[in-house]
Structure 1
Amino acid sequence: MLETIAVDAGVVTLADRRTQRRWEVTLRPYEIGVFPVTRGEYGLPGGDRLPVESVSWLDAVRFCNAQSLQAGLPPAYVIDGDDVSLVDTSDGYRLPTEAEWEHACRAGTPGPRYGELDEIAWYRDNSGGRLREVGGKQPNAWGLYDMLGNVWNWCWDLYDPQVYGTYRVLRGGGWFDEHWSCRASVRRRSHPTFRVDDVGFRVARSVR
C-alpha cells in the first residue's frame, strides 16, 4: 500500500498568471501521498527511495489503476488507449486534482511556500544538479514531503483545453528549477505523453 494521509475538506483559490484568472474550488475530504511515488514503488531497480521520473501522465494513471487492483480497490480510471475518464464513485488510487494538490501543499499557510525553501525543497541552488531521495527535507505542517522541488507532480486537470487541448497540469517545481518555480501557486503544463527527468507524481484517493 502506498503511504497516504487524510486531508480535511477545504476551500482553495487557484490563480493563473498567464490569463490573470482566479477561481475558487471547494474540496471534499481526500487522501494524498506522503511522498512522491518512488522508483521502488514503481518497480524500477536501483535507487528505491528516489522519486520516479521520466513518467508521462498516461504512465501515472496506468500505475494508479494497477495499484488499486493490487490493493483490492476499484480502479479510479477507465483507460481506452489515450482516452482516460475518471470513475467518480471509486476510492482507488488516482492523481490529485490541482486544487487538492495546492491545498495539500499549502497546509494552511497563506504564503508562496510552507517554509524556507532550502529547508523544504531540492531545487537548482541545493540539489547538486541531480534528483534526491524523498523525505530528505522538512515536511509541511500536514506531514507531506517534497511538495515543492525534487520532481514536478502530474495532476489530473487539463491546463486550458481551449488553448492547449489535452495538455495536463504540473505542480511543485523540480531539482533543476530556479526558486521562483518552487511555489505553491505555480502552474506548468505538458502533453500527457511527455516524459522528462524532473517530472514524477504522487497519488491521491477519494474518501467515500
Structure 2
Amino acid sequence: MVTVPAGRVVLSDRRTERSWDVGVEACRLGAVPVTQAFYARVTGQRPSAARGDRLPVEGVSWWDAVRFCNALSVREGLAPVYQFADDGEGVAWDASADGYRLPTEAEWEYACRAGTSGPRYGALDEVAWYRGNSEERLRDVGGKRPTPWGHYDLLGNVWEWCWDVYDPEVYGTYRVLRGGGWFDEHWSCRASVRRRSHPTFRVDDVGFRVARSGGGG
C-alpha cells in the first residue's frame, strides 16, 4: 500500500463533454493490482483464464472485488467497509470502517496522474502493457516503471474496477473501469479514460486494486 496525498483532480467524460472538480482526501492505494496468488490466499479461488501467481487477477466482477475487500479486512482484523443488503442486490459504504475498499475513480485518476499534467505519467511503452507491446497477453505486475508516487500498472495490463456508478440515469448500476488493459490500443491507456460495465461482468482484461482511507497505517 502506497500513500496518496490529499489534493484535487478534474475528471472529465468524453461522451457527455462534461468535467468536474473533485477533492481527494489522503488515502492508501495498492502499489500493484491484486495478484492471482493474493486473491487465492484470501478467497481460496483462482478465477483467471491465464495462470500465474504474479499476474493480476482477472475474470472478477465488481461484486467479486468488493467481497474480496471485505474478506481481506476480516482476515487482517479490520472493520469491513461494505455492508450488503439482505437481498444481495445493494451495497453501502461505511465511511467509519478502517478496512479495505475499492478506490473511487477520483482517487484512481489522482493517483494515476501523481502530480503530472499529461495524459500519462510517462512514455506509454515505459509505464504500461498494452496491445502495442504485450504480445496480446497478460503480464506480471510491477514490470513497468511506476508513477512518481510509486504505483505500478495503473495504465495497461488490466482495467481496474472503481467504486463509482458510471451514470445511473443512463446506465443504471454500471460501474466505472479505469486504466486500459493488455489488449487495448494506446488511446485507451490514458489517465482520463472512463469505461463502464455491469457489476456482474467478468472478462480476462479486468481486475482491481485495493485502497484504504487515511494516509497512514
Q: What's the TM-score, normalizing by structure 1?
A: 0.97
Tell me which stretches of 4 or more aligned residues in structure 1 moved more than 6 Å. Answer: none
Give secondary structure in 1 for the equivalent of 2:212. Answer: strand
Amino acid at match of 1:71: E
Distance in 2 between the 1:18 and 1:207 partners? 32
- Equivalent residue, structure 1, for 2:6: 9
- Equivalent residue, structure 2, for 1:69: 74
Alignment of 1:119-158 (within 5 A): 119-158=126-165
Amino acid at match of 2:67: R
Distance in 2 between the 1:183 and 1:7 partners? 19
- Equivalent residue, structure 1, for 2:124: 117
Amino acid at match of 2:116: T
CA contact (8 A) 1:135 1:146 kept: yes
Say whether 1:34 aligns with 2:41: no
Q: CA deviation at 1:82?
A: 2.5
- Equivalent residue, structure 1, for 2:111: 104
Distance in 1 between the 2:57 and 2:90 partners? 23
- Equivalent residue, structure 2, for 1:55: 60
CA contact (8 A) 1:51 1:200 kept: yes
Amino acid at match of 1:181: S
Distance in 2 between the 1:148 and 1:140 partners? 10
Residue deviations 1:136-156 (CA, integer Å, cap 9, x gap) = 111010010000000000000
Amino acid at match of 2:91: V
| Residues matched between the structures, number | 205
CA contact (8 A) 1:36 1:51 kept: yes
Q: CA deviation at 1:83?
A: 1.1
* Runs (5+) with no aligned partner, structure 2: none
Give secondary structure in 1 for the equivalent of 2:182. Answer: coil
Q: What's the TM-score, normalizing by structure 2?
A: 0.93
Distance in 2 between the 1:83 and 1:94 partners? 16
Residue deviations 1:67-116 (CA, integer Å, cap 9, x gap) = 00001100000023121110011121000000000000000001000000
Distance in 2 between the 1:193 and 1:79 partners? 15
- Equivalent residue, structure 2, for 1:18: 15
Say whether 1:204 aligns with 2:201: no
CA contact (8 A) 1:65 1:93 kept: yes
CA contact (8 A) 1:36 1:201 kept: yes
Give secondary structure in 1 for the equivalent of 2:164. Answer: strand
Say whether 1:182 aligns with 2:189: yes
* Runs (5+) with no aligned partner, structure 1: none
CA contact (8 A) 1:58 1:82 kept: no
Distance in 1 between the 2:39 and 2:178 partners? 20
- Equivalent residue, structure 1, for 2:89: 82
